[in-house]
Amino acid sequence: MEIEHPYLLFLGDAHDQLAAKTAQGIVDWRADWCLGQLRLEGCKADVGLREMSIQDAAAQGARTMVVGVANAGGVLPDHWIDSIVQALDAGLHVATGLHIRLSGIPRIADAAERAGRQLHDVRYSDQRFATGKGHKRSGMRLLTVGTDCSCGKKYAALALEKEMRAEGLDADFRATGQTGVFISGRGISIDAVVADFISGAAEWVSPDNEAGHWDVVEGQGSLFHPSFAGVTLGLLHGSQPDAFVVCHEPTRTRMRGVEHPLPTIAQVIERVVQNGSLTNPDIQCVGLAVNTSALGDAEAERCLAELSEEYGLPAADPIRNGVSSVVAELIRRFPKG
């Protein structure tokens, strides 16, 4: 399943900017895939695209309307359903990462059937996977891992893809979460897969490839997070990375959503190497991606310098400084790709 672009981004009547963070992520990384935004009355989000009606978007070649916004509560409002039906009738596919399955809403299912258009519910997976095999595949792989959930693993992977391409490497971002799937037009929400197939799905996400090619796989969760570590471990085994980058938010003291303290970067490196060596004995850490958004400039600089010194690895904030130092280290360690 590939989500066709260009996209029209549907923002609905989002009650604040944060509700549209999926749309914002798409614009940040794939602005050239986005024709415009559709905002309903009362919408408080704006991702800076041209305002565009469904008819105009269709006329200008849009292929898919992406619902890039979270709805409050568990029910899809009637006026959102109206817009989705209009988009289908205008010949667009519709993609969402909502908790509700579009195909479970009769008016939408009927419209998709009538128009012969696809519904992409990227939070759900009806796809069948094999169980993980653990065989070494051809090509190279880099995985972003974290001291916690929501600490910048997707952003770091996208920044690495961009910088690696700029350095002439053949690199592809591989999405394992909803927003990542919209950004790359393919991939899988790996936390939505049936538990038996986590590593199998991860193997599917980064198949055999050319010898010098790098898959840059979006990490999920943390091996130290009591809610999600199973997903993290299956993803680590299935993606069999040659290299990994540890993502970290230095001011956080507790893991997201639970009471557990954050592990240290050293603990994460040790645990990832231990577990990752099951499917790739040569796994190694090539750098740190540090989200310093909570720090001032001087503090951030000091933080990065200290971490780099402590671990003997490049430490970069992908947003503040970019990840060129990490990519330089990757090229140094893997000169032939």
Whole-angstrom distance, CA of residue 74 vs CA of residue 153: 27
164 binds a copy of itself per the rule CB under 8 A: no
* Residue 287, strand partner residues: 245
Q: Which of 30, 44, 186, 260 binds a copy of itself (CB under 8 A)?
A: 260
Query: Distance between CA atoms of 264 and 285, rounded to whole angstroms?
Result: 14
Residue 180 neighbours by CB under 8 Å, 6+ apart: 154, 157, 158, 173, 187, 218
Q: At closest approach, how far in Å is the CB of 178 from a copy of itself?
A: 12
Closest-CA residue to 111 (of 102, 122, 123): 102
- From residue 277 to residue 316, what is the string marking binding to a copy of itself with x (rule CB under 8 A)? -xx-------------------------------------
Among 36, 97, 132, 152, binds a copy of itself (CB under 8 A): 132
Nearest-approach distance from CB 238 to a copy of itself, in angstroms: 8
Contact call for residue 266 and a copy of itself (CB under 8 A)? no
Residue 12: helix, strand or coil by DSSP?
strand
Q: Which x/- pattern over 53-92 shows residues binding a copy of itself (rule: CB under 8 A)?
A: ----------------------------------------
**Burial class for 209, CB neighbours closer than 10 Å (0-12, 13-18, 19+):** middle
Q: Which stretch binds a copy of itself (CB under 8 A): 15-23, 54-62, 110-118, 128-136?
A: 128-136
Kindly calculate the radius of gyration of the chain based on its CA atoms and give it in whole angstroms: 20
Which span sits near a copy of itself by CB under 8 A: 31-39, 49-57, 190-198, 317-325? Answer: 190-198
Q: At closest approach, how far in Å is the CB of 237 from a copy of itself? A: 5
How far does CA 300 lie from the centroid of its chain? 25
Site for a copy of itself in 228-257 (CB under 8 A): 228-235, 237-238, 257
**CB closer to a copy of itself out of 192 and 328:** 192
**Binding residue for a copy of itself, selected from 49, 224, 239, 326, defined by CB under 8 A:** 224
Query: Shortest gap between Cβ of 229 and a copy of itself (angstroms)?
Result: 5
258 contacts a copy of itself (rule: CB under 8 A)? yes
Q: How many CA atoms lie within 13 A of 75 on its CB side?
A: 3
- Of the pair 19, 236, the CB lying nearest a copy of itself is at 236
What is the token pair recorded at 40? 């309903």
**Exposed, middle or buried, 115 (CB in 10 Å: 0-12/13-18/19+)?**
middle
Two tokens, residue 187: 């991939």
For the bound state, the minimum distance from the C-beta of residue 240 to a copy of itself, rounded and expressed in Å, comes to 9
Q: Report the SS3 class of residue 151.
A: coil
**Minimum Å distance from CB 83 to a copy of itself?**
28
271 sits near a copy of itself (criterion: CB under 8 A) = yes
Exactly one of 226, 293, 306, 309 binds a copy of itself (CB under 8 A); that residue is 226
Total residues binding a copy of itself (CB under 8 A): 38
Separation between Cα atoms, residue 170 and residue 135, nearest integer Å = 22
The number of beta carbons lying within 10 Å of the beta carbon of residue 153 is 28
Q: In what order do the strands lie in the sheet with 243-248?
A: 171-174, 214-217, 140-146, 243-248, 284-290, 315-316
Pick from 55, 60, 134, 305 the residue near a copy of itself by CB under 8 A: 134
Binding site for a copy of itself (CB under 8 A): 131-135, 190-196, 198-200, 223-224, 226-235, 237-238, 257-260, 271, 274-275, 278-279
